[in-house]
Structure 1
Amino acid sequence: MGAVIMHNVVSVDGFIADEHDDVGSLHDWYFGGDTPLASADESAYDHSEGVGGFRLSAVSAAYVQPMWASIGVIVMGRHFFDLTNGWEGNPPAGDHVVVVSHRPKPEGWHPEASYHFVSGVAPAIAKAKELAGDRIVSVAAGEVGGQALAAGLVDEVAMDVVPIVFGSGKRYFGSIEGQHRLEDPHVVIQGDRVLHLRFKVSR
């Protein structure tokens, strides 16, 4: 089985968005570089623009490209799904998406897309691992990610830390309670306007 990695872009004070779900300039580093992000399907890859118009620094691209390529499934909450309309059935990475929700998939919504609506974090992670096989399960940070970490279902925490202070908003770890120990970071990469960090979860 592949690892379960909790991931998101985050401010230095630990927020992934403000109270109104505005990410501000948190994602600017995805578009401020000169290296386009390649597609897994090179035949469909526009080398001038890259996937989704992403243009990163060479350092960040060298980190993000293999990480995204290793993702098999993304796990997200219903709020995130509703905000993005599920990326219109085309996730930025992976072949499948598992949505933690007590409500079913919207009727008629992109029937061709491999999106699975599962009630509860633990069964959602189990479904994602089944779908991912040996590839990574990427869990969106926030409430769902925090619940998965608290339940002992996360193997690693990945943070793209941006030098901005929000002061308040939606927390990277959601409303998680108690202390949860991480190992020393095994990835520390400085990009332009972003610091890429990965920590294994202590067992």
Structure 2
Amino acid sequence: MGTVIMHNVVSVDGFIADENDGVGPLHEWYFNGDTPITEGDDQHDHSGTGTAFKVSRASAEYVRPMWESIGVIVMGRRLFDQVNGWEGRPPTGDHVVVVSHRPKPAGWHPEASYHFVDDVAAAIDKAQELAGERTISVAAGDVGGQIFAAGLVDEVAMDVVPVVFGSGRRYFGGIRGQHLLEEPHVVVQGDRVLHLKFAVRRRTD
């Protein structure tokens, strides 16, 4: 089974977007370096801005193998609608699972391997089926928080940007209660970003 990693860029006070879904400076580090994340990034635009991702060398050395390991992205319907599912071409991985009570839009990119399910446990089951031994990347936010609270996440990955939002959309959504993580086993300093990875501490009671 593939490792399930909850991942997102996040402010130092724990927000992945402001109250209007704006990301402000959170994604600036994707464009402040001279090293493409993947081969051919000079020609391929992942961002939807007309600009390819180019990051610092330290960030590229961290992000590149992580992206290459991903087989499936799991996301909520809100993010899907915001980016229109990246027009059927996710930035990494071969498949996407969308947690939604609404079906895939009629006629939307029938060639793309996008699967719509209405339950977080079913989403991870489908992702494991599609991923094989590859990594499953869970987008943080409300759906990611539900998957985390259900005990279905193995690792938490944060790209922490030095900005304070004060309010907005939280990395862990509306999760309640205390959940322990292990000490970070990855700490990488990029340019205007700190990459962190934590294993989730499993409950023993």
Q: Aligned partner of 1:5: which letter? A: I
* Offset of residue 87 of structure 1: 0.4
Q: Summarize the Cα distance change of 1:63–1:50 in structure 2 as closer, same or farther, 3 Å threshold.
A: farther
Counterpart Cα distance in 1 of 2:102 and 2:85? 14
Q: Aligned partner of 1:12: which letter? A: V
Q: Aligned partner of 1:72: which letter? A: G
Q: Which residue of 2 aligns with 1:97?
A: 96
Q: Which residue of 2 aligns with 1:33?
A: 33
**Which runs of 5 or more residues in structure 1 are unaligned?**
40-44
Q: Which residue of 2 aligns with 1:123?
A: 122
- For normalisation by structure 1, the TM-score amounts to 0.95
Give 1:1-203 correspondences, 5 Å limit.
1-39=1-39, 45=40, 48=42, 52=46, 53-203=52-202
Q: Aligned partner of 2:163: which letter? A: I
Q: CA RMSD in A?
A: 1.0
* Offset of residue 49 of structure 1: 5.1
Other structure's SS at 1:159 match: strand
Q: Provide Cα deviations, 1:135-184, integer angstroms capped at 9, x if missing partner.
A: 00000000011101110000000000000000000000000000011000
Counterpart Cα distance in 1 of 2:32 and 2:43? 12
Q: Aligned partner of 1:23: which letter? A: V
* Offset of residue 51 of structure 1: 5.2
- Percent identity between the aligned chains? 74
Q: Provide Cα deviations, 1:93-128, integer angstroms capped at 9, x if missing partner.
A: 100000000111000000000000001101001100
Counterpart Cα distance in 2 of 1:200 and 1:57? 25
Aligned residues: 197
In the alignment, is the contact (CA less than 8 A) between 1:72 and 1:95 conserved in 2?
yes
Other structure's SS at 2:81 match: helix
Q: Aligned partner of 1:54: which letter? A: F
Counterpart Cα distance in 1 of 2:45 and 2:120? 30
* Offset of residue 37 of structure 1: 1.8
Q: Aligned partner of 1:7: which letter? A: H
Other structure's SS at 2:25 match: coil
* Offset of residue 2 of structure 1: 1.2
Counterpart Cα distance in 2 of 1:51 and 1:132? 24
- For normalisation by structure 2, the TM-score amounts to 0.94
Counterpart Cα distance in 2 of 1:49 and 1:110? 22
Counterpart Cα distance in 2 of 1:196 and 1:103? 34
Counterpart Cα distance in 2 of 1:192 and 1:84? 26
In the alignment, is the contact (CA less than 8 A) between 1:38 and 1:50 conserved in 2?
no
Other structure's SS at 1:26 match: helix
Counterpart Cα distance in 2 of 1:188 and 1:49? 30
Counterpart Cα distance in 1 of 2:139 and 2:82? 13
Counterpart Cα distance in 1 of 2:146 and 2:37? 31
Q: Provide Cα deviations, 1:62-93, integer angstroms capped at 9, x if missing partner.
A: 00000000000000000110000000000001
Q: Aligned partner of 1:18: which letter? A: D
